[in-house]
A and B are shown apart, each in its own frame.
Chain A
Amino acid sequence: MRCLFVFMVVLTSLGVCATNDDVLSDSTVALHEVEVESSMSGNYLSGSAVEKREMINSIGLKKMACCTLAESFENSATVSVGYSDAVTGARQIRMLGLAGVYTQFLDESRPTMRGLVSPYALNYTPGDWLRSIQVSKGVASVTTGHEAITGQINLEYRKPTDDERLHVNFYLDDMLRPELNLTSAIHFKQDKSLSTIIMVHGSIDTDWREMGAMDRNHDNFRDLPNTRQVDVANRWLWLLPNGIQLRWGARYTAEDRLGGQLNYHRQSGDAERQLFFERFDAESGYAKPLSVYGSHVTNHDASAYLKVAMPLRHIVTDGQGGEWQDNVALVADWSHFDTRSYFGYNGYNAHENSVSLNLRMDHYLAPHSSLAVGVQGRMNYVRGAMLNFRYRPIMLSAMPNHYSWLQTLLDEHLDEREIGAYAEWNTTLRQRLTLVAGMRVDYNDWAKQWLVTPRLHVKWDITPRTTLRASGGMGYRTPRAIIENLGMLATGLDIINATMYLPGRALFPNDVTDLKAPGKRNYNNLEKALTVGGSLTQTFTLGRDQRASLSLDYFHTHFLRSLFVTQEPLAGYVLFYNSGATNYTNTWQLDFNWTPVERLNVLATFRYSQSRVGLPMLAQGGPEQGVYYLLTNETQTVERALTSRFKGVLNLSYATRFRIWVFDITGQLNGPMRVPVAGGNIQESYHSPTYGQLFAQVTRKIGHAEVYVGCENITDYRQKDPILGADDPFGPQFNSMNVWGPLMGRKFYVGVRWNLY
């Protein structure tokens, strides 16, 4: 049978029939060869990818409970996972020493998890829905956009062609939090040419244990929020007899997240806060203040997509049975996200609608040379409002019970439209040297800027066992100051949009009531960065393993313009502003993979980061004009806050024959981070301690089921004081942003996976 479709693919899904000539591909990522999944390694480096790519297959995803996408990276030093703040419990990642917003997420090669949903998106992807994850470092292909600055994470989901008619995964931990995942693949035709898969996830915090169990550091705040979540997804595949492939799908997520003090409850807390603002009198400034600090976040996320692919007539052959056929594909995406949240008095409500279209053609010039060209358009519409409300009592003898209030209201109004075209040439010379050169040009009408994105990847197989890779290119992204730094609302700090202020103009922090932003935000500057790097991978024989590997890589990211959000330059304030000031990271990483005896795998990896930013110097004005500050052009270069200097991971995994028993143990060593202080004096910042974490899991197959039992954070290491000023949550010292370590201690869990074929 003729191979009907040849996309540039990453084939790691177990649900795809690779032996049939009608190759079914959900992904369109630059590669030349089909990946062969190792039978043992759950985490391994791709040998054929032109980028430095770490693969996490289904075995790797099962090493831990992997309830959500966030937990999937606990075995990786490439990606570090932490919390944005101690109140919302939103997980965030770091790659190459930079925040996860600079990493592009792909859903089978379609950009996803961007915009307002980005701080929560890691929690909205159940780990059980995934077949594999590919983590690529450095700039990515131009065909997926201009946003990948530090790297790209591609998610491969379960397929409509999967064999499991029903898959169930039930999980329960020692906090009595149950999670249930159900997936069902339905084939309407025997050859699976018309198939669908339905995926459902539900989880809830029951709070069945005593309140004390949720507050182990006894600061009267929940260690993690009480969360209820439902996710539903449906994906379809239709292969037409004429060779056209159709894929479409939709998903929906609803989440309710309650945080804050232990005695804060949903309904009563919402009612009390609403009553406060209804009775609040702008002139007298009086209303009964809130009695308990609480946070409540309600999110709804919906998205849908359609992919149509059609083969064209032009075919090239190599005379040895290999064939490559031109093809054209259209991908359409729609997404909607709505968030309503408050943190004490502060609040943020917003919604976003996005539509994008990508039309792409792959033309084969020769058996190992192809040209991809395409056009892509996108529209984003954001409407939101942030309230920064500080309510502090000022006792005056003539006016008892008088309170002074400070309020900042920022409207968020974004109408962003972007249109662009790209071309990428992919060629392999003498089966040793692979070049991927791409160029992309977009026009962004919100920033009123032309974006030119050149990117180059080189892979040189020096010997069959030695591979040298190098990459470089530009990246751009639209910053979202509020949603990407939502933790600043869970503080008592005043928030100043300093993007309106050019150097030399005064900030008037004591009169912030005048700081009402104009109708549109003024930070109409995209973030712009250059990332270059390379890696050297050596495969060698060590003992009985002929495929042991050692890899060293280095990446440098340099921001030419970025949005800074910092609590450091001005005591008691969070500033956000655009700047071309110093902002760069250097990252080195060493990876070692070895199978000393059959079914025993050793994975060791170590990452070191050097990350620097230039914080603005402020000049203080004279007393006769009131105390004011000038944002100057002077900066001081400091270590980037809350970025670990190093991380080491050691994973040992052993399986008995047929993987009847599987034993996994993972040790992490997390390096120190510079912890900022909001006192305005950078010299007072300190470094968090180096700490280790241990994870272990045992899995046993019984018939069609798998039972797993494990423990996370076995040594019970926790950050003792993630919330500063917890005794006065409505005061100016309250700060939950300085999270550098685990919030939860030791956690035991048990679960069962069961398949019906």
Chain B
Amino acid sequence: MIALLISLGLGWATARDTKVEDVKTTVFVTDIHCESCSTKIMNNVPALGKGIKDVVVSVADKTVAVTYYTSKNSDEKIVKGLRSLHVEATPVAQCKPCCIVPPVTPEQAQKMNAGPQTDCCKDN
């Protein structure tokens, strides 16, 4: 009985971790510049691929925040999907902090997905 309870507990904990890992939110820095760009993205969410949970577009910040299931999609696929809508996008963690609007500290950038950093300034 105790072994069964321990197993159930471990299984529940594992499932929680899995559930958290399954969903990811990535903020992309884009070249969008007006409301019609935002409307275009929101009208074509399926173009970003499968497993999309939420999309939030900020024209003022030129960002697109995408929440998705990692088992069904990836940052690369979403970038490709945005490119098919004529929107160039780069995950914010890959941008130099000074280029990001609003600016983030290096510590905040490190907390996001680590990876090679791109000079996004030329795209803004």
Closest beta carbon of chain B to A346's beta carbon, Å = 50
Tell which of B18-26, B43-51, B99-107, B113-121 binds the partner. Answer: B43-51
Does B59 touch A at the CB level, under 8 Å?
Answer: yes
Report the bound CA distance from A103 to B63 in whole Å: 45
The residue in chain B whose Cβ has the minimal distance to the Cβ of A20 is B34
Contact present for A702 and B85 (CB under 8 Å)? no
Known: A757-B85, A757-B86. A19 touches B35 (CB 8 A): yes
- Chain A residues within an 8 Å CB radius of B45: 658, 660, 701
Contact present for A703 and B36 (CB under 8 Å)? no
Q: How many interface residues does A have (CB within 8 Å)?
A: 18
B binding-site residues for A, Cβ under 8 Å? 33-37, 39-40, 42-47, 52, 55, 59, 84-86
Contact present for B47 and A16 (CB under 8 Å)? no
Report the bound CA distance from A658 to B67 in whole Å: 13
Contact present for A658 and B34 (CB under 8 Å)? no
- Chain A residues within an 8 Å CB radius of B42: 658
- Chain B residues within an 8 Å CB radius of A704: 44, 46-47, 84
- Chain A residues within an 8 Å CB radius of B44: 701, 704, 755, 757
- Chain B residues within an 8 Å CB radius of A702: 46
Report the bound CA distance from A190 to B29 in whole Å: 20
Report the bound CA distance from A659 to B45 in whole Å: 9
The residue in chain B whose Cβ has the minimal distance to the Cβ of A18 is B35
Scan residues 702-750 of chain A and give those whose CB is less than 8 A from a CB of chain B: 702-704
Report the bound CA distance from A512 to B20 in whole Å: 89
Known: A701-B46, A703-B46. A757 touches B34 (CB 8 A): no
Main secondary structure on chain B at its contact with chain A?
helix
Known: A19-B35, A19-B59. A658 touches B52 (CB 8 A): yes
A-B residue pairs in contact (CB < 8 Å), sample of 27: A14-B36, A14-B39, A15-B36, A16-B36, A17-B33, A17-B36, A18-B34, A19-B35, A19-B59, A20-B33, A20-B34, A163-B86, A658-B42, A658-B45, A658-B46, A658-B52, A658-B55, A660-B45, A660-B46, A701-B44, A701-B46, A703-B46, A704-B44, A704-B84, A757-B44, A757-B84, A757-B85
Report the bound CA distance from A17 to B33 in whole Å: 9
Scan residues 1-41 of chain A and give those whose CB is less than 8 A from a CB of chain B: 14-20
Report the bound CA distance from A732 to B78 in whole Å: 70
Report the bound CA distance from A112 to B114 in whole Å: 59
- Chain A residues within an 8 Å CB radius of B47: 703-704
Scan residues 264-318 of chain A and give those whose CB is less than 8 A from a CB of chain B: none
Instruction: Mark each residue of chain A from 365 to 379: 1 if its CB lies under 8 Å from any CB of chain B, else 0.
Output: 000000000000000
- Chain B residues within an 8 Å CB radius of A755: 44
Instruction: Mark each residue of chain A from 200 to 213: 1 if its CB lies under 8 Å from any CB of chain B, else 0.
Output: 00000000000000
The residue in chain A whose Cβ has the minimal distance to the Cβ of B34 is A17
Report the bound CA distance from A335 to B85 in whole Å: 37
Set A18, A161, A659: member contacting B43, Cβ < 8 A:
A659
The residue in chain A whose Cβ has the minimal distance to the Cβ of B49 is A703
- Chain A residues within an 8 Å CB radius of B37: 163
A binding-site residues for B, Cβ under 8 Å? 14-20, 161, 163, 658-660, 701-704, 755, 757
Report the bound CA distance from A429 to B35 in whole Å: 31
- Chain A residues within an 8 Å CB radius of B40: 163, 757
The residue in chain B whose Cβ has the minimal distance to the Cβ of A701 is B46
- Chain B residues within an 8 Å CB radius of A15: 36
Set B36, B46, B55: member contacting A163, Cβ < 8 A:
B36
- Chain B residues within an 8 Å CB radius of A18: 34-36
The residue in chain B whose Cβ has the minimal distance to the Cβ of A165 is B86
Report the bound CA distance from A18 to B33 in whole Å: 10
Report the bound CA distance from A702 to B46 in whole Å: 6
Known: A163-B40, A658-B42. A19 touches B52 (CB 8 A): no
Residue of A658, A660, A702 with most chain B CB atoms under a 10 A cut-off: A658
Report the bound CA distance from A755 to B86 in whole Å: 12
The residue in chain B whose Cβ has the minimal distance to the Cβ of A756 is B84
Report the bound CA distance from A659 to B84 in whole Å: 19
Contact present for B34 and A19 (CB under 8 Å)? yes
Residue of B34, B36, B55, B86 with most chain A CB atoms under a 10 A cut-off: B36
Closest beta carbon of chain A to B121's beta carbon, Å = 18
Closest beta carbon of chain B to A289's beta carbon, Å = 59
- Chain B residues within an 8 Å CB radius of A14: 36, 39
Closest beta carbon of chain A to B62's beta carbon, Å = 12
Report the bound CA distance from A660 to B51 in whole Å: 12
- Chain A residues within an 8 Å CB radius of B59: 19
Report the bound CA distance from A20 to B33 in whole Å: 8
- Chain B residues within an 8 Å CB radius of A16: 36
The residue in chain B whose Cβ has the minimal distance to the Cβ of A36 is B35
The residue in chain A whose Cβ has the minimal distance to the Cβ of B54 is A657
Closest beta carbon of chain B to A409's beta carbon, Å = 56
Report the bound CA distance from A666 to B46 in whole Å: 27
Give me the 9 closest cross-chain CB pairs, A-B, nearest first. Answer: A17-B34, A658-B45, A757-B86, A701-B46, A19-B34, A757-B85, A163-B40, A704-B47, A19-B35
Residue of A16, A19, A161, A701 with most chain B CB atoms under a 10 A cut-off: A19
- Known contacts A163-B86, A702-B46, A703-B46; 16 additional CB pairs below 8 A are A14-B36, A14-B39, A17-B35, A17-B36, A18-B34, A18-B35, A19-B35, A20-B34, A161-B36, A163-B37, A658-B46, A659-B43, A704-B84, A757-B44, A757-B84, A757-B85
Report the bound CA distance from A702 to B42 in whole Å: 14
- Chain A residues within an 8 Å CB radius of B35: 17-19
- Chain B residues within an 8 Å CB radius of A703: 46-47
Report the bound CA distance from A686 to B39 in whole Å: 52
Report the bound CA distance from A660 to B55 in whole Å: 13
Report the bound CA distance from A638 to B85 in whole Å: 59
- Chain A residues within an 8 Å CB radius of B84: 704, 757
Report the bound CA distance from A182 to B11 in whole Å: 55
The residue in chain A whose Cβ has the minimal distance to the Cβ of B85 is A757
- Chain B residues within an 8 Å CB radius of A658: 42, 45-46, 52, 55
Report the bound CA distance from A658 to B48 in whole Å: 12
Report the bound CA distance from A110 to B36 in whole Å: 25
Report the bound CA distance from A417 to B37 in whole Å: 46
Report the bound CA distance from A702 to B86 in whole Å: 18
